[in-house]
Amino acid sequence: METAYQPELWRDMFVVLGSSAAALIGLLFIATSLHLSEIVNTPIALRRAFNNTCFLLIILIQALLFLIPQPMAALGAELIVINLLGLWLPLKVVRSFFKERQHYRHAGGRIYRPTIFMTNSLIGIAGGASLIRNSNSGVYLVTASCIVSLVFIVFGAWSIMVGIGQAEKSTTS
C-alpha cells in the first residue's frame, strides 16, 4: 500500500509552514517587545502572546519533524507527543476561563479560541496515530491542523494588537 507521506511531495508544504511559523515568532517578539508594559499589565494579552508563541513553536517543530527522514511510526509518535503538549495550553485557558469568568470576558477572552486549539491538537494527535498505522490520512490531518492553527494565531495576534492599541488610546486621552 502506498502511503501519503512521500517526503518529496510534502517537502515544500512543510518548508512553508515552518518558515511561516518562524517568521511569525520573530514578528510576535518584536510586537510584544514594543508594547511590553501594556502586555505584561494585561493578563489576558500576556497569556495570548505566550500561547501564540507556543503554538507557533509547535507548528515549527511539526514542520521540522516532517522534514527529518525517519520511519512513519516514529514521526507519528513524535507528533502525538508534541500535540499532547499543545493540548495542555488551551486546557489551562479553559480552566482559568471558568475560574475567573467575569474578568476573562471583560478583558475580551472568549471560549471559542481555546476550543479551536484543543480541536486542532486532537486532530494532530489523530494524524500522528494515523501515521503510526500507515494510514494515508495522517499527513493531511496534521497539515490541516497546522494551517488552521496558523490562521487563528494570526487572528489572535491581531486581537492582541487591537486590544493593546485601545488600551493605549484610552490612557492617552
Q: Residue 33's Cα: distance from chain center in Å?
A: 20
Per the domain annotation, does 1 fall within a domain? no
Per the domain annotation, does 140 fall within a domain? yes
Residue at 114: amino acid letter: P
pLDDT tens-digit map of 67-105: 999 999 999 999 999 999 999 988 888 887 777 766 666
Residue 50 lies in domain: 7-172
Per the domain annotation, does 2 fall within a domain? no
Per the domain annotation, does 24 fall within a domain? yes
Q: Which grid cell sits at 68?
A: 527529518
* Distance (Å) of CA 38 to CA 81, 101, 103: 34, 21, 17
Mean pLDDT, rounded, of the chain: 86
- According to the 3-state scheme, what is the secondary structure of 86-126? HHHHHHHHHHHHHHCHHHHHHCCCCCHHHHHHHHHHHHHHH
- Domains contained in the chain, number: 1
Per the domain annotation, does 99 fall within a domain? yes
Give the pLDDT of residue 84. Answer: 96
Whole-prediction pTM value?
Answer: 0.85
